[in-house]
């Protein structure tokens, strides 16, 4: 019950966009009287005699005049606005230019009221003076100020009254609603509505009136059920028939009388015979709408203008959902992201996911998708939110991981000017090389990185990368001689073997203690070799002409070199001492039969190919 009281309090204290008089805050009945002044593009018609003391004009009203028109901006300083009635095409309103003398300007007798009943009177007003107009009136003009009075039919008893207070001109048109509530007395079925102008005539104080309405006003009433006082009820089709207990709650203290009604479409309502208390227990077999007519007098229940109705209580029967259609099983290859499984339930339904076709553990709630972490089959159950209504069966959706082909990267080489065959190294798959070829093995004639995508019969792929290098035939670049040390260099580095005179190949390109003469340098790899002849002149770095038979002369090592070279020997001052050639191949350290001193001497060797070599040696005694 606390929830109902709080709900009613919220409705009754909501900030309403009304003028500061009084409105019906409870349930309202059908309009007994509704004056919207009609529609059309012509002026009028004139109000019935006795309705107003103002003068009717078919045009722009002056002070003390009125008209009825769909056009409000009859004066250049008045707002260009539509009437208030919603959806009204060329709708009209009552346009009043206030008299210089304050007083009554509208009177209307309203009949057909019900006795001992509270009613609401409302009307919409606008100050039609446009304060944004230049030079029309000072400031916002003379404000409008209207008093509403409700009298008994004899106009001797004032039932209720209220004033709008000053309403100033505005730069934009603003319709504002004002109202009063009053209660008829015993035997009273009509009242007199009087509107009075409290302001003076002049520049401003011009108004439009529309949608004057009288209707019954009762306590705000709702229907609720269950321990939580729900204001609606939902049931699954397979739970029918079922009974529910409906109770009436009103915010006021009136001693009301009731008549329960039901409807299949929330439009056409039928009284439920005999149900006139504040509770009702219907048997639910289909979607239904319930409400109660509320009146302060039992005689008013038969008059559609004299009772109010409660808020509608809706009973919704929900068709039992079927298992939601699957959007397909998910099959991925190893290493791929795990996709979400999904189903598509019917509109208004939601899905829970389980690990079993019935019972089992709830894995995820309120979601049409589920992302598993392990392979397996998962089950989607449809349900209707806010109702115990689930599908009889669940939809199985599977997730599996397919094995991808196993490959390893590799490398291959080929000799310059040839080719190499490289392979995917796996059978019974589809192949797609980076070259566009689709065979297991391809022929390669250029160095580079080659890839092959292999795809097995379940559509899973992997990529093997093969790095191919070209082996070039070695080319000798230089033969560097340092006395008896010979170094062979090549134009590019590589995995080469080296030899002199084609004998005893070695990994090192340096040869030590080499005997002089005409020699041949060799370098090779598995793709070929290069050969270059060279002359190795070995001249002693010193000699000892002391007659001991060992190293007594300065001479070229290897007689084979003598035809190719002539060596000139000089002393420290550059004087030529001797030429050595194939006719005179050695020097004994003398000059013209005289022993030369022990010191350093220089030589210059000139080869028949035009090359030259210089150096020095020591004569030691």
For 301, which DSSP code?
G
Strand 221-225 versus strand 55-56 pairing type: unpaired
Average pLDDT, the chain: 91
Q: Residue 325 domain-assigned?
A: no
Q: What pLDDT was estimated at residue 498? A: 97
Query: Do 312 and 338 belong together in one domain?
Result: no
536 — phi, psi (to 5°)?
Answer: -110, 105
Query: Do 172 and 45 belong together in one domain?
Result: yes
Query: Do 264 and 171 belong together in one domain?
Result: no
Residue 501 CA to residue 497 CA, distance in Å, equals 13
Angle in degrees, CA 85, 220, 164, rounded to 5? 45
Residue 617 CA to residue 84 CA, distance in Å, equals 128
Residue 380 CA to residue 351 CA, distance in Å, equals 6
Query: Do 422 and 513 belong together in one domain?
Result: no
Instruction: Give bridge partners of residue 461 from the DSSP assignment.
Output: 455
Query: Do 22 and 169 belong together in one domain?
Result: yes
Asked if 523 contacts 495 with a C-beta cutoff of 8 angstroms, the reply is no
Q: Is the pLDDT of residue 12 over 50?
A: no
Structural domain including 53 reads 2-218
pLDDT, greater one: 297 or 182: 182
Q: What pLDDT was estimated at residue 385? A: 86
Last residue of a domain, one of 218, 237, 262: 218
Q: Residue 241 domain-assigned?
A: yes
pLDDT 10s digits, 537-590: 888 889 999 989 899 999 887 656 677 889 999 999 999 999 998 888 899 999
Other Cβ atoms less than 10 A from the Cβ of 582: the count is: 13
Q: Is the pLDDT of residue 453 over 70?
A: yes
Residue 318 CA to residue 588 CA, distance in Å, equals 130
Query: Do 90 and 200 belong together in one domain?
Result: yes
Q: Residue 396 domain-assigned?
A: yes
Instruction: Give bridge partners of residue 279 from the DSSP assignment.
Output: 247
Q: What pLDDT was estimated at residue 386? A: 80
Q: Residue 323 domain-assigned?
A: no
What the block records as the tokens of 26 is 């409870």
CATH number at residue 448: 2.60.40.10
11 — phi, psi (to 5°)?
Answer: -65, -35
Q: Is the pLDDT of residue 349 over 70?
A: yes
pLDDT 10s digits, 364-376: 999 999 999 999 9
Q: What pLDDT was estimated at residue 253? A: 65
**Band of residue 16 on the pLDDT scale cut at 50, 70, 90:** very low
Residue 169 CA to residue 193 CA, distance in Å, equals 26
Residues 6+ apart with CB under 8 A from 153: 109, 188, 190, 191, 192
Asked if 325 contacts 382 with a C-beta cutoff of 8 angstroms, the reply is no
Q: What pLDDT was estimated at residue 175? A: 97
CATH number at residue 180: 2.60.120.200
Query: Do 134 and 67 belong together in one domain?
Result: yes
In this prediction the pTM is: 0.52
464 — phi, psi (to 5°)?
Answer: -105, 135
Q: Residue 576 domain-assigned?
A: yes
Q: Is the pLDDT of residue 191 over 90?
A: yes
Q: Compute CA distances 20 → 56, 158, 164, 179, 198, whole Å.
A: 30, 19, 7, 8, 16
Query: Do 20 and 117 belong together in one domain?
Result: yes
Q: Residue 324 domain-assigned?
A: no
Query: Do 344 and 294 belong together in one domain?
Result: no
**What mean pLDDT do residues 56-81 have?**
94
Domain count, the chain: 6
Residues 6+ apart with CB under 8 A from 229: 1, 3, 4, 247, 249
Q: Residue 66 domain-assigned?
A: yes
Last residue of a domain, one of 448, 471, 494: 471
What the block records as the tokens of 85 is 């009635």
Query: Do 225 and 206 belong together in one domain?
Result: no
**Band of residue 8 on the pLDDT scale cut at 50, 70, 90:** very low
Last residue of a domain, one of 218, 233, 249: 218
Query: Do 59 and 153 belong together in one domain?
Result: yes
Q: What pLDDT was estimated at residue 416? A: 93
Q: Is the pLDDT of residue 2 over 50?
A: no
DSSP 49-92: TTS-SSEE-SS---TTEEEEES----STTB-----SSTT-TTB-
Query: Do 194 and 54 belong together in one domain?
Result: yes
pLDDT 10s digits, 476-501: 999 999 889 999 999 999 999 999 99
CATH number at residue 578: 2.60.40
Give the SS3 label for residue 348: coil
Q: What pLDDT was estimated at residue 559? A: 58
Residue 347 CA to residue 349 CA, distance in Å, equals 6
Q: Is the pLDDT of residue 527 over 90?
A: yes
Q: Residue 60 domain-assigned?
A: yes
User: CB-based burial of residue 433 (10 Å sphere; 0-12 exposed, 13-18 middle, 19+ buried)?
Assistant: buried
């Amino acid at each position: 019950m606390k929830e109902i009281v709080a709900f009613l309090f919220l409705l009754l204290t909501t900030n309403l966009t009304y003028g500061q008089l009084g409105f019906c805050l409870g349930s309202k009945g059908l309009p007994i009287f509704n004056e919207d002044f009609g529609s059309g593009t012509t002026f009028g018609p004139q109000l019935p005699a006795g309705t107003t003391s103002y003068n009717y004009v078919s045009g722009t009203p002056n002070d003390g005049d009125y008209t009825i028109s769909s056009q409000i901006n009859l004066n250049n300083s008045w707002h260009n606005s539509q009437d208030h009635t919603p959806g009204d095409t060329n709708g009209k309103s009552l346009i009043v230019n206030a008299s210089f003398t304050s007083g009554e300007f509208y009177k209307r007798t309203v009949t057909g009221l019900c006795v001992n009943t509270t009613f609401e009177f409302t009307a919409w007003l606008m100050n039609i003076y446009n304060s944004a107009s230049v030079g029309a009136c000072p400031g916002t003009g003379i404000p409008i100020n209207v008093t509403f009075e409700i009298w008994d039919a004899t106009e001797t008893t004032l039932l209720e009254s209220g004033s709008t207070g000053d309403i100033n001109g505005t730069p934009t048109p603003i319709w504002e609603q004002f109202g009063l509530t009053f209660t008829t007395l015993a035997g009273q079925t009509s009242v007199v509505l009087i509107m009075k102008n409290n302001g003076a005539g002049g520049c401003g104080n011009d108004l439009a009136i529309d949608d004057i309405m009288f209707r019954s006003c009762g306590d705000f009433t709702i229907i609720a059920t269950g321990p939580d006082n729900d204001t609606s009820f939902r049931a699954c089709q397979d739970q029918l028939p079922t009974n529910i207990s409906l109770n009436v709650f009103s915010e006021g203290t009136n001693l009301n009388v009731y008549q329960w009604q039901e409807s299949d479409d929330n439009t056409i309502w039928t009284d439920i015979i005999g149900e006139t208390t504040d509770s009702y227990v219907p048997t639910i077999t289909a979607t239904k709408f319930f409400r109660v007519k509320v009146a302060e007098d039992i005689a008013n229940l038969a008059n559609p203008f004299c009772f109010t109705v409660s808020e509608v209580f809706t009973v919704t029967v929900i068709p039992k959902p079927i298992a939601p259609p699957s959007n397909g099983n998910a099959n991925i290859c190893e290493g791929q992201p795990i996709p979400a499984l999904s189903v598509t339930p019917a509109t208004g339904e939601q899905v829970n996911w389980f690990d079993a076709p019935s019972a089992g553990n709830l894995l995820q709630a309120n979601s049409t998708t589920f992302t598993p972490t392990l392979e397996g089959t998962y089950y989607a159950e449809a349900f209707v939110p806010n109702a115990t209504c689930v599908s009889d069966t669940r939809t199985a959706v599977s997730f599996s991981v397919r094995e991808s082909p196993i490959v390893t990267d590799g490398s291959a080489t080929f000799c310059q000017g040839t080719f190499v065959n490289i392979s995917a190294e796996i059978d019974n798959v589809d192949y797609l090389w980076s070259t566009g070829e689709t065979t297991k093995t391809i022929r390669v004639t250029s160095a580079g990185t080659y890839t092959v995508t292999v795809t097995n019969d379940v559509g899973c792929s992997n990529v093997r990368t093969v790095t191919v290098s070209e082996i070039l035939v070695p080319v000798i670049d230089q033969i560097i001689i340092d006395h008896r040390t010979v170094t062979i260099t090549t134009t590019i580095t590589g995995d080469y073997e080296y030899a002199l005179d084609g004998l005893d190949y070695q990994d090192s390109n340096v040869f030590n203690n080499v005997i002089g003469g005409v020699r041949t340098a060799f370098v090779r790899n598995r793709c070929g070799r290069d050969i270059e002849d060279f002359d190795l002149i070995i001249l002693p770095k010193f000699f000892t002409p002391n007659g001991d038979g060992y190293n007594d002369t300065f001479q070229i090592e290897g007689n084979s070199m003598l035809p190719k070279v002539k060596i000139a020997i000089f002393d420290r001052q550059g004087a030529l001492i001797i030429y050595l050639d194939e006719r005179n191949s050695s020097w004994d350290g003398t000059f013209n039969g005289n022993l030369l001193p022990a010191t350093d001497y220089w030589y210059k060797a000139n080869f028949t190919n035009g090359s030259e070599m210089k150096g020095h040696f020591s004569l030691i005694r």
